[in-house]
Structure 1
Amino acid sequence: MAERETLLEVRDLKVHFPLEKGILFKRKVGAVRAVDGISFTVQQGEALGLVGESGCGKSTTILAISRLERITGGEVLFSGVDLASLSESDLTRERQNFQIIFQDPYSSLDPRMRAIDIVAEPMSIFVKKGLLSLSEEEIKEKALSLLERCGLSSIYANRYPHEFSGGQRQRIGIARALSLGPKLILADEPVSALDVSIQSQILNLLKDLQKEFDLTFLFIAHDLSVVEYFCDRIAVMYLGNIVEMASSKELNDNPLHPYTRALLSAVPVPDPIAAKKRKRIILKGDVPSPSAVRPGCPFYERCPKAMPRCKEVKPILTEQGKNHQVACLLYEESSDA
C-alpha cells in the first residue's frame, strides 16, 4: 500500500495565555500553557484522534490550527503552507480547505437562520469575496443536497434550529462544514453533547462521509471508546503535551504510558465478568495548574511509576516499536540499557 500524502503537519505548537496583575497598569506575571510544544502529522484520508482529560489542551489545539486562537509559537503546515504566518486574506482562501464541526450543536447554530441558510452561508460568503463562482440557485441546490446527504429531508430545510433535536442540529453543523468542499475536518468532540444512541448514528455518518468525500479528520474526544471506533491513530494529551501516539489498535492493546493505561482502565466494559477482572487505575491528586512552570515530566506528580529523575527531565516522544511513540523516561531508561 502506497504511503499517503501528509496533509497536516504541526511542529512544536505552543498556545500560552498571559496571566496579568493590576487594574490600571497591568503587568504579565506568568502564562497558562494550554498547549506546550506538540508535534504530529495527519495523512490524507486518515482520522487522527486527540484524547485526554478536560483542560488538557485538545480544543485549544484545534482552535489554534484553524487560527481562531492566537498561536504563541510553532508551525501549522497545511499542504505545505504555514497557516500560522498567513495574512487574513490568504488565510480566508485556505479556510475553504479546512472546516470545524463544533461540540455544542445548540450554540454553534444561529437561532435566527433557517437550516438551509445556515448551510448556504459559507458558500454565499465565499461568492461575495470572489473565491467561489456559484449562482444563488446553485447554492440553494447544494445546501439542500448536503442536508439530505446528512440525513435531513428537504421538508426540514426552512425550519429554525430550535425546531430540531440535538442530533439533527449536529447534522446541520456537519452539512455546513462540508459546504465548501474541505479536505480536512476539525471535529471538536462532535458527539459528546448527544445521547449515546444518537452518537453511533453521527459517528457512522461521519465514517460514510469520510469515504465518500475522501475527508481527513482531526477528531477530539474524551471518550476513548469513541476514538477507538472512529480513528486510525490516537494521540494522548496531558497538560498541553502529547504523551503517547500510536495506531488505534496498538494503543488499546499495548498502552505504554502510565497515563494512557489509567485512561483505558476507566473505559466501561460491556462484559461484567471481564469488568470485574480488570484492575482500575486510580490516579492520585488533581490535574496541576497549566500556569505552573515544571522542568520535568508534566505527569510526574500523579504518576504511579514516577522516579526522582522524572522531576528534573522532561521526556520527549521516542519510537517504541512501529509507529508507536511515547514520552516517558521509563522507556528512555530501558532503551539506554
Structure 2
Amino acid sequence: MLQNLVRDFAEREVMPRSAELDEKAEFSHENWEGMARLGLTGIGVDPAYGGSGGGFRQSSIAIEEMARADVAASVTLAAHLGLGLETIARFGNEEQKQQYVPSLASGKGIAAWALTEPGSGSDAAAMQTTATRRNGSWVLNGSKQFITNAEVAETLVIFANQDRSIGYRGVCAFIVPAGTPGMQINPQHNKMGIRASSTCEIVLDDAEIPAANLIGEPGMGFRYAMDILDSSRISIAAQCVGIGQAALEEAVRYAQLRETFGRPLAHHQAIQFKLADIATGVHSARIATMHAATLRDQGLPFINEASMAKLLASENCNKAAYEAMQIHGGIGIFKESRIERIFRDARVTTIYEGTSEVQRMIIARQVLGQYPV
C-alpha cells in the first residue's frame, strides 16, 4: 500500500521534472510539499508529536521509491528523517520535542544535520567547531561543510566541542534555528550528482543560542551522532536500492528497444548476463536493507547488518549504473539518456554517511567480536 502510494506520486509528479531540476541544480519545494502531503516527512515519528508512525521498514520503502524517481528528493527526505529529526526525537527532552518535532514531522519545516567539517569527515571526533558557555547561553564558532538541506532548513542540529582537549568526550549536540545571528549558510555548487539537493557550508561566528537548545547531556554529542549514523545507514542503503532499481529498469527497457545485428540487444547472451547480474544485485541489496530495518524496528542488534546493507547497496548501485550505461553504449553518456544522471547520482553513495572503507572497518570489528579465539 505505502509502496504503491509513493510510487504513484513519484512517477506522476517527481520523475517528470527531475531532469530539469538536475540541469538547474535547483531544490524542488514542490517535491517536498508533495512528500509532506503524503505524510512521508513524519514517518517513524510518534503520532503524539504529529508524526505518521511506522518505523525503518516504512521509511526505507518511501526512500527507495523516491530514489527510483529522483535521488535528490530522496536524499532530502533521508537527511530530514534519519538525521536531523531523528536526533531531536530520540535524544531531545520533552520540551524540545514539543517545540520542534511537530513542524518538522508535518513537513512545514525541514531538518538539517551538521557534523562534517573541512578537516573532519570520517574522523568526526577531530571536529574543530567549538561551543562556549557565555552569560547563560551557548556560543558556537567554526564551520561545517557538505550539509544537506542547510539552505532550506527550518531547524538544524549542529555538533560542536565544548572542550577540544578531551577530544570526542567534549562534543555536544545543539538545536539551532534557521536565521540565528552569527550563522551564515553558503550553498556549495557544481556537484557531480544529486544536483537538485541543497548542499551547503555553514559558518558560525559567535552564533548564540539558548542554553535550553543543548540536546541531551553535555559531552554526549559524539555518541548521539554515532548512534544516529548507525541507523541512518539503513536509509542510505534504501536510497541505493532505489538507484539500482532505476538503473535496472533503464537497462532492461533499452535492451529490448535497441537492435544490433538484426535483433534486440536483449537477445544477446552477453547483455542477458549483465541484466541478470544487475537484477540479482538489486534484489540482494533490498533484502539486506529490509533485514537491517526489521532488526532496528524490533529493537534487536542491527549495527553490523546496517553497515553490510549500506556497503552492499552502495557498491551495487554503482555497479548497476556502470553496467546499465555499458548496455546503452554511446547514447548513455548524453543527458538525453536518463542513465547519465543515474550514473552521476550513484557515485557519492559509497562516500557519504560512512565510506565503504569505514563500513568494512565496522563489519570487521563486529565479526572479530562475534568469533573470538
TM > 0.5: no
TM-score (norm 1): 0.28
Structure with greater helix percent: 2
Structure with greater strand percent: 1
